[in-house]
Structure 1
Amino acid sequence: MTKRTFGVIGLAVMGENLALNVESRGFPIAVYNRTSAKTEQFMAERAQGKDVKAAYSLEEFVQLLERPRKVLVMVKAGGPVDKVIEQLKPLLEPGDMIIDGGNSLYEDTERRTQDLEATGLGFVGMGVSGGEEGALKGPSLMPGGTASAYQELEPILVKIAAQVDDGPCVAYIGRGGAGHYVKMVHNGIEYGDMQLIAEAYDLLKLGAGLTNPELHAVFAEWNKTEELNSFLIEITADIFTKMDTETDQHLVDLIMDTAGQKGTGRWTVMSALELGVPVPTMYAAVNARIMSSYKDERVAAAQEITAEVGTFSGDKQTFINQVRDALYCSKMCSYAQGMALLRKASQEYNYGLDLGEDARIWKGGCIIRAGFLDKIKAAFTENPDLPNLLLAPEFKQSILDRQSAWREVLVMANQLGIAVPAFSSSLDYFDSYRRERLPQNLTQAQRDYFGAHTYERTDKPKGEFFHTQWME
């Protein structure tokens, strides 16, 4: 029998769809799942008539593959990935490679890359974004790790990735855990995007009283604009049209207001704290999901803490336009934070990231795909050393043109008693970043007062430190 070009371990939804994607591009595949019943189900229901060979042991699976063997592991992040790797190691030969396509923590990927490269094996930690549909039809792929392994995989990856006007949505990201780090930050930006959209929805529905059909019309119109055209705005518009078959009510109104999370947003915030990069929009988004989980407490508190809530009385269309501008300004800040974090991580971990290329491969397949990623790519192509996206002429002028509307939305939200943590955090980020002098001179004076932590002076050379006896 002809050896298989590619192998997939793990046949949950993402593993199945990636396997079928690879096969559909002309590459014979082998598949294996820990439970044989799942393998049998896949072969019977989805692999009929396709160039797929099933294995029912890892030994059989490895023998089905041509050399150098290319093994994609699609199992739960953490311990399960390590377990599969340990089982594969004695069965593979130098030059073979393992690809981890799950949402693994970049530090784990770093460790695994070093471990496997020391044995002559290649390891690629590959971020995959696009959900089950993207996995099947073309995701955004963010592979990092062993460079020689990526070169072997490239002919396959460029075929299975989403295709956009300037190429496939895949590129070698960098050494070690670079691929999973970029995917993690992608998810952090995604958290911010989703929270900002939720706040826009809250302002328009609760504040301005728009109905679900009106919300559909607004978001559908926004999706036609150069600024907000994106996958998340598109699906948001669709959500407002879905009716519940049991009650004949809009389904969105019946969904419990508690949002889950798998950890990548939290990892992004934790990494930013460790690297000293401000990401307040992402932090607000993570915190909002945590707050949403306190449903019972919030229900009880709503009965105890009553406060006067304002009533919107202005022109609705004007307010809708202001919310649109506030959303775009906040979105720019969210992406600026994400790209700044990638820049710092690249320097700290020697990833050698190309921020323009990272933005380009997010243009298709992934959850944060958006029209304005072309502008982000252009900004970093024009100036690879750009320290912050807000300094790019295009984005700087866009915010300056819209900041009045942004501020008015925040004022209205406060008057109405509607929490908009991500909108607020984004504006705080903008206002803090553009300030030549912040009030932390007082903070440093306090630190020196109670802890003799010293301070620098504005009228002395930078790097000279002073201490004052404040209570002489």
Structure 2
Amino acid sequence: MKLAILGLGKMGGNMARRLILGGIDVVGYDRSAETVNTLATDHGLIPAESVEDAVSKLSGQKIVWLMLPSGAPTEEQIKDLIPLLSEGDIIIDGGNSNYKDSQRRGVWLAEHGIGFMDCGTSGGIWGLENGYCLMVGATLEVAKVIEPILIALAPAADRGWAHVGPIGSGHFTKMIHNGIEYGMMQAMAEGLDLIKGKQEFNLNLAQITELWRHGSVVRSWLLDLTADALKGDQNLTSIAPYVADSGEGRWTVMESVEQGVAAPVLTSALQARFRSQDATGYSYKLLSMMRNGFGGHAVKTK
């Protein structure tokens, strides 16, 4: 099986490597020729010099996986791909697009006879080693074709991936996933900030977070990453207390308003990120560190 991946950043590059290790041929293109050449030389990627070149190296039913920023970059790339593809070919959007855009794109591509899959992808920079969690929206026909690719990317054939529903549902599920993530991170950061502030006890945050990792009801991958980071520097002196929001937390809160469903924790977590951009505090350093730990998101340094 062969597919093309357009966008070989941290996650896209690691996804290409995992697919190649799983026995799938991957044609890759990125604006960075150096990235493409490194993946080709070190990991067996089939290099492409342009989008057109990447598509031309596919045969039969063509599958193109996009790992691009949401919004205009993804929109423009899909528009440019349409004349390069034929009826029955498939485009997969593995980025964090708004689910409403994915629904619209699915209708748009269907008019050209091109299949579409929205794939909410979680796993960050650790997906190469651990496998990715893949939340897929597509027709049954498209999902069946793409299944071997999903299995190669997931932690195992029977877990870590699911065809959750029709087009749009994959990105919707990932949006809510990220909203929940905001709340979990905020609760952990605030709690550890309180522990740090109890100076009379002189508590060791590295010791406590490591303790919680074993048998505690709050044990999680986020806690694992936090404990590991705190072993090096409990004060996080090199990290600025600034926490970016990538968009999906906002979309989750907007969805709660549209549905009339109360989501006070998720809303508060989003507002806290906004507040971090004008304030200082240890909890914001922790949040920024966690985002970097699981997703490789840039950290604003002092």
Query: Where on the TM-score scale, by shorter chain, does this alignment land: which range?
Result: 0.7 to 0.9
Answer yes or no: is 1:182 the counterpart of 2:173: yes
3-state DSSP class of the match of 2:232? coil
Moved over 6 A (4+): none
3-state DSSP class of the match of 1:172? strand
Cα distance in 1 for partners of 2:128, 2:263 equals 29
Cα distance in 2 for partners of 1:259, 1:277 equals 26
Query: What residue in structure 1 maps to residue 26 of structure 2?
Result: 29
Answer yes or no: is 1:256 the counterpart of 2:247: no
3-state DSSP class of the match of 1:82? helix
Residue pairs, 1:260-279, within 5 angstroms = 260-279=244-263
Cα distance in 1 for partners of 2:227, 2:275 equals 25
From the superposition, tell whether residues 109 and 135 of structure 1 become closer, same or farther in structure 2 (CA, over 3 Å).
farther
Answer yes or no: is 1:240 the counterpart of 2:230: yes
User: Over aligned residues, Cα RMSD in angstroms?
Assistant: 2.2
Answer yes or no: is 1:87 the counterpart of 2:80: yes
Q: Give the one of 139, 153, 156 matched to 1:163.
A: 156
Unaligned stretches of 5+ residues in structure 2: 282-293, 296-302
From the superposition, tell whether residues 64 and 210 of structure 1 become closer, same or farther in structure 2 (CA, over 3 Å).
farther
From the superposition, tell whether residues 64 and 222 of structure 1 become closer, same or farther in structure 2 (CA, over 3 Å).
same
Residue pairs, 1:447-462, within 5 angstroms = none
Q: Give the one of 182, 199, 208 matched to 1:218.
A: 208
Q: What TM-score results when the alignment is normalised by the length of structure 2?
A: 0.88
Cα distance in 2 for partners of 1:137, 1:46 equals 19
AA aligned opposite 2:122 = S
From the superposition, tell whether residues 282 and 209 of structure 1 become closer, same or farther in structure 2 (CA, over 3 Å).
farther
AA aligned opposite 1:76 = P
Query: What residue in structure 2 maps to residue 133 of structure 1?
Result: 126
- The percentage of counterpart residues that share the same residue type is 35
| TM-superposition CA deviations, 1:84-129 (whole Å, max 9, x none) | 1111101111111000011101110010011112221111111111
Q: What TM-score results when the alignment is normalised by the length of structure 1?
A: 0.57
Cα distance in 2 for partners of 1:147, 1:136 equals 29
Equivalent residues of 2:132, 2:154 under 8 A apart: yes
Query: Bigger shift: 41-50 or 119-128?
Result: 41-50
Residue pairs, 1:245-394, within 5 angstroms = 250=234, 252-295=236-279
Cα distance in 1 for partners of 2:83, 2:96 equals 25
Unaligned stretches of 5+ residues in structure 1: 244-249, 300-366, 369-472
Task: Looking at secondary structure, tell me which structure has more strand per residue.
Answer: 2
Bigger Cα Rg: 1
Query: Bigger shift: 281-290 or 141-150?
Result: 141-150
From the superposition, tell whether residues 234 and 93 of structure 1 become closer, same or farther in structure 2 (CA, over 3 Å).
same
| TM-superposition CA deviations, 1:52-80 (whole Å, max 9, x none) | 21111222211211321111011111011
Cα distance in 1 for partners of 2:83, 2:46 equals 22
3-state DSSP class of the match of 1:218? helix
From the superposition, tell whether residues 275 and 187 of structure 1 become closer, same or farther in structure 2 (CA, over 3 Å).
same
